[in-house]
Amino acid sequence: MPAYELYGQEEIDAVVDVLQRKIVHRYSSHEARGGIYRAKEFEDVVARAVGAKYCQAVSSGSAALYVALKALGVGPGDEVITSAFTFIASIEAILECGAVPVLADIDESLNLDPESAEDAISEKTKVIMPVHMYGAAADMERFRELCDLYGLYLLEDACQALGATYKGKGCGTLGDCGTYSLDPNKVISVGEGGLIVTDDEELYRRMEYYHDHGHIHDESIDRGAEGKACLGFNFRISEIQGALGLAQIKKLPRAIESLRSNKKRILEAVGDLDLVTLRDLPDRDGEIATQLVLLLPDEGSARAFQKASKEAGAGCSVLADNTWHYAKHWKTLREGTTYSRLRCPFDCVYAEDLPSYRPIEWVQTDDILSRAVMYGLNIVMGDEDVERMAKAIKAGLKVAY
């Protein structure tokens, strides 16, 4: 599903225009730029597209999570509950705040299991962070209920789910705030970049300040004369990313339509799945269909399926092997590998009972991922690609029991 599949003249023109005007910084040269603010325009278009009041662009999806957590006030002594099946950035963002990531199980949606998340709540929990994995919404009604019941913030890691919806509302807009990634493997990309959306003006202001050294942005004065609201850091995007984003966001509906149609065509060509099931999603129609996952009855079936599928011409992965997304494989997390001698939360008076992050903690997750096979889908798939994948799935289904 990489966004570059749809890169074209529009993206080239957008970037060239910024370079020709020679104004690359998003917050400077107010007089010279003639009212053109591409990064700001991009943020406004994204906010409208997903249905949020405010959007802050930052330098990556990882930065988006980090800035959001900082703005929510997460720090040493706090715990954040998220999923054992995600990209490690979700966990690193929490660690960078000095807080403790508590990794709960997934359910058959492959997203955070609300029951497991509830079991993980302690008096230190500050945030629940469901991850909308592979472009499909987690059970947001349940998470909203839990957060209201226990007085917690709800932060959506929608880094893989820009454009996905849950019961008609944009993923990322259902919590207190939500994040998207614009890295090269997402449905739209600006090279590297991220976005945070929220309806809460105070939270938005904090994120705006924090992501740019605390600056109180003011177009009517010189950047050097701006005041500062807090300490922060630099997670800015440039006008180049803003312009590229504007060209890309116009293609988002087309990319999603194409992905959904590809998935549908493949499943129709396969026909009856028999004992095999799709992910148990709370809103199947809202997913952006970047992946096709099949849940088999057991691991033996999944391994046999994988072999037959490869032999028939299309490789798939068994998700338990996924070193990128399954916490079981993260030795650096288990061992707390960092370069400083002392560091919160690993050596921290506020975090005495750090979880061990061993796979034994995720029995349910391990069971599900060891019988889940996954195919990545492209935006552009011709009839031949669809037929090849359908043929491989059928070959897998034949040997799966």
Ligand X SMILES: Cc1ncc(COP(=O)(O)O)c(C=O)c1O
Beta bridge mates, 291: 376
d(CA 193, CA 289): 22
Piece of 20-28, 82-90, 258-266, 279-287 that binds ligand X (CB under 6 A): 82-90
Residues in contact with ligand X, counted by CB under 6 A, come to a total of 15
Minimum CB separation from ligand X for residue 160, in Å?
5
User: With CB under 6 A as the contact rule, which of the stretches 157-165, 198-206, 228-236, 246-254 interacts with ligand X?
Assistant: 157-165
Q: Is residue 86 part of the contact set for ligand X (CB under 6 A)?
A: yes
- Sole binder of ligand X in the list 81, 97, 106, 159 (CB under 6 A): 159
The CA distance from 172 to 162, in Å, is 8
Report the 10 Å Cβ neighbour count for 342: 8
For residue 96, the minimal CB distance to ligand X (Å) is 12
Round to whole Å and give the CA distance between 355 and 345.
Answer: 11
Stretch that binds ligand X, among 143-151, 153-161, 170-178, 299-307 (CB under 6 A): 153-161
Based on the shown chain and the rule CB under 6 A, indicate whether residue 130 belongs to the binding site for ligand X.
no
Contact 401, 305 (CB under 8 A): no
CA trace torsion 323, 327, 331, 337 (10° rounding): 120
Q: Say whether residue 194 binds ligand X (CB under 6 A).
A: yes
User: What's the min distance (Å) between Cβ of 130 and ligand X?
Assistant: 10
Contact 187, 252 (CB under 8 A): yes
Phi-psi category of residue 375: left, alpha or beta, with phi > 0 → left and psi -120 to 50 → alpha: beta
Strands (E), 88-134: 100-104, 125-128
CB of 328 to ligand X, least distance (A): 16
Cα–Cα distance measured from residue 197 to residue 50, given in angstroms and rounded to the nearest whole number = 9
Answer for which of 56, 82, 90, 290 binds ligand X (CB under 6 A) is: 90
Q: Do the Cβ atoms of 136 and 112 come closer than 8 Å?
A: no
The CA distance from 49 to 51, in Å, is: 6
Which stretch in 154-162, 232-240, 362-370, 382-390 sits in contact with ligand X by CB under 6 A?
Answer: 154-162
Residue 181 interacts with ligand X (CB under 6 A): yes or no: yes
The closest residue (CB) to ligand X is 61
Per-residue mark of binding to ligand X, 330-369 (x: CB under 6 A): ----------------------------------------
For ligand X, the binding residues (CB under 6 A) are 60-62, 65, 86-87, 89-90, 131, 157, 159-160, 181, 183, 194
